[in-house]
A and B are shown apart, each in its own frame.
Chain A
Amino acid sequence: MNFDRQYRPLSILCSGLLIFLACLLLTPADLSAADEQTATATSEALPEAETPEPEPQGFKRIELKIDGLFGKFNKVVASIFFYPVPITPDQFQNGKGIPLAVLWLVIGATYFTFRMNFINIRAFKHALLLVRGKYDNPDDAGEVTHFQALTAALSATVGLGNIAGVAIAIGTGGPGAMFWMMLAGLLGMTSKFAECTLAQIYRRISPDGRVMGGPMCYLSEGLKEEFGSNPAMNGLGKFLAVFFAVLCIGGSLAGGNAFQVKQSLDAVAVTIPGLEDYSWVYGLLMAFFVGIVIIGGIRSIARTTEKIVPLMCGIYVLACLAIILMNLETIPDCFAKIFKGAFDQDAMYGGFIGVLIIGFKRAAFSNEAGVGSAAIAHSAAKTEYPVREGIVASLGPFVDTIVICTMTALVMIITGAYNNPQYADMIVKDQGAALTSQAMSSQIHGFQYVLSVSVVLFAYSTMISWSYYGERCWAFLFGDSKKVSMSYRILFLVFVVLGSIVSATNVLNFGDLMILGMAFPNILGVLLLSNRVKKELDIYWKKYKSGEFDNQTK
């Protein structure tokens, strides 16, 4: 335990949760009182009024209330962030189109890829060498090595998005969604490169050597520096930074937290019957284990998870490969379906555009390229050259989307789980993790237990990493002090419990909204600063090609 704290961490944790529970219990009491009033009012007017249908009581009722609130909020924000932008004449007539946020991500990723001359492909080998530590210098400013920064960023992105999100994408978009997901991953590598390079350029290092970096810093500092003479740009930078920080906090509470809890709960509930009725128990348990790390200060648990997760990734990919090998004869057919599905006008999966949207959206949610979150982790890396960390960061979408997501997608297609009527109900309910679990255990007997464990660990490590992103943004808005951080941590734990209560669809939508919403300020900022990135890249690449760095290595 960390004895340096003046407050006993456990007491804060307990009191926070108690207050939350008290609030929950008080709300229905108020409402039932109000109901009684209306009931008496109506009974006066209509003495013979029929008794209303019995409403669910206790926790069920609280669940419905919270869920309803989420649903209402989502609707309002979605009408802005996911405003359908019509592309084809047909869409103009129907008032449909590509969601604004997805279109924005695609435009950004494509532009960066061309602007940086396909650095995602050019620098691939260099990226691998960097991660292996060939060019590491322990004396450079920063907190962690290239490899550690990449692991930290990956533990936030590799999570349920790769297992649950992809299963839903294939379920609703058909095999063709995989094609667009891979393309989005490839383009996303450059978005990631650009944002992480900027995060390194404009990071702040405090007197004690801690790093504060990420979109909130490069949006506010970068725009001020690049367009110093223009006060409008300065204001814009500040606005975008705050806007980003607010969305990132929202994302850390929903997509990086509640969504993870909910989806892992679904996957575990498949293997442990009866858990579904006591979902809040799972929520409290998760909150306890997250709490002892982020408030209790027991670092060893987080450290262990950080080591187990790569192992779990390995097991998952191997299991998927095994399933693929067992069904080797179906592979050509499978790829035929993928390519056919990608350009098909089949109305069943929403047509060509519909599939494209699903693919890009899920890829963005899974690898977070263009969203700016990973830039926070990558800013902490020790390096003299910002571009170097950008190149390392570009491996993120590769591992996350092109390797792991593809594995899930192939398993879904090979096993035929995506169009099996038996599982149609799960797709409708967005229970992606449960779907993958079913698909895999149909091939490898008993794999659902292994998957349950890895799903919980993935969820856990993602939550820990996102709590870090959220806390950095919280600190950016409210200052770097102990009390400020503690308030965020308690809020985070409340959302862990909330995640186990609200319905999956509403949580999923809220997470999508916040995390994809982060792309608006982030990509706009990166677009405005892309000249700076290009300049740094050219200088770095010239030095690299001249062999200057090879002379420095031992």
Chain B
Amino acid sequence: MGYFQGKKILVPTDFSESSLNAITTAIQIAEDPASVTVVHVMVPLDMVSPGVLFGGLTNEKRTEHVLEYAKEEFEKHQIEGVAFETLVGDPGIKLADFAKDNEIELIIIPSHGYTGIARLALGSVAERVLRHAPCPTLVLRQPKK
């Protein structure tokens, strides 16, 4: 019986291939999908895009869209039984708050391994989550090809 078996696990996702694989990994570690919570953090809405100005784009509508998208993607990757949440804001801080509020015991996060300009500009979401995390955090680094 593993150390993390049955513990509450949080997996942030941006629906990239590596983050969907991380969910599968999390289910294997927990040995039960019910203890895995998948969270998608959305960027705060900008104020000037036509969608925002004309009210066609609101956080409620975005959440709906994400839920639908998640359902499709999970089906495609045979992920079942996990809880799914959406948040809006800075991923590092929002995920840390979420983990605290929901007594998460392990965060599993994939790392894209951006390099160059993207690395400088973005920093890394994984890095930010790691810095703010209130609990053990597992970063699934991708081996360089």
A residues with CB within 8 A of B: 2, 4-6, 142-145, 148-149, 151-152, 207-211, 293-294, 297-299, 302-303, 306, 377, 380, 382, 464-465, 467-468, 471-472, 477-485
Contact = CB atoms under 8 A, between A and B. Distances in A.
A2 to B, nearest CB: 7
A207 B50 contact: no
A474 to B, nearest CB: 10
Contact of B51 (A5, A144, A293, A303): A144
A208 B66 contact: yes
B14 to A, nearest CB: 8
Given A208-B42, A210-B62, A479-B121, A4 B48 contact: no
A81 B40 CA distance: 44
23 contacts: A143-B50, A143-B51, A143-B57, A149-B50, A152-B54, A208-B40, A208-B42, A210-B51, A210-B57, A211-B51, A293-B48, A298-B47, A299-B52, A302-B47, A302-B48, A303-B53, A306-B54, A382-B56, A471-B46, A479-B118, A479-B122, A481-B43, A481-B122
Q: Which of B52, B88, B118 neighbours the largest number of chain A CB atoms within 10 Å of its CB?
A: B52
Interface in B83-105: 86, 88-90, 93
List of 8 A-B pairs having minimum Cβ-Cβ separation, nearest first: A143-B51, A209-B65, A152-B50, A208-B62, A478-B121, A468-B48, A148-B54, A207-B69
Contacts of A464: 48
Interface of B: 14-15, 40, 42-44, 46-54, 56-57, 61-63, 65-66, 69-70, 86, 88-90, 93, 117-118, 121-123
Given A207-B66, A478-B118, 19 more contacts: A5-B89, A143-B56, A145-B56, A151-B50, A152-B53, A207-B14, A207-B70, A208-B40, A208-B42, A377-B50, A464-B48, A472-B49, A478-B117, A479-B118, A479-B121, A481-B122, A482-B43, A482-B90, A485-B46
Contacts, number: 105
Contacts of A211: 51
Contacts of B42: 208
Contacts of B49: 143, 210, 380, 468, 472
Nearest to A377: B50
A6 B46 contact: no
A144 B49 CA distance: 10
A433 B42 CA distance: 42
B48 A294 contact: yes
Contacts of A144: 50-51, 54, 56
B117 to A, nearest CB: 7
Contacts of B15: 207
Contact of B47 (A143, A208, A297): A297
A143 to B, nearest CB: 3
Contacts of B89: 4-6, 482
A302 B86 CA distance: 27
Contact of B48 (A142, A467, A477): A467
Contacts of A484: 121-122
A4 B88 contact: yes
A121 to B, nearest CB: 27
A207 B44 contact: no
A47 B5 CA distance: 88
Contacts of B62: 208-210
Nearest to B54: A148
Contacts of A299: 47, 52-53
Contacts of A377: 50
A382 B89 CA distance: 26
A468 B49 CA distance: 6
A479 B117 CA distance: 10
A471 B45 CA distance: 12
A25 to B, nearest CB: 29
A209 B61 contact: yes
B61 A302 contact: no
A296 to B, nearest CB: 8
A145 B51 CA distance: 9
A488 to B, nearest CB: 10
A485 B122 CA distance: 11
Contacts of A471: 46, 48
B121 A6 contact: no
Contacts of B52: 299
A208 B40 CA distance: 10
A483 B118 CA distance: 13
A211 B53 CA distance: 14
Contacts of B66: 207-209
B48 A465 contact: yes
A405 to B, nearest CB: 23
Contacts of A6: 89-90, 93
B32 to A, nearest CB: 26
Contacts of B117: 477-478
A302 B53 contact: yes
Q: Which of B40, B43, B65 neighbours the largest number of chain A CB atoms within 10 Å of its CB?
A: B43
Nearest to A153: B50
Nearest to B93: A6
B98 to A, nearest CB: 14
B47 A294 contact: yes
Contacts of A293: 47-48
Contacts of A5: 44, 89
Contacts of B63: 208
A208 B121 contact: no
Contacts of B93: 6
Given A148-B56, A207-B66, A209-B57, A480 B43 contact: yes
A477 to B, nearest CB: 8
A293 B46 CA distance: 10
Contacts of B121: 478-479, 484
Contacts of A478: 117-118, 121-122
Contacts of A148: 50, 54, 56
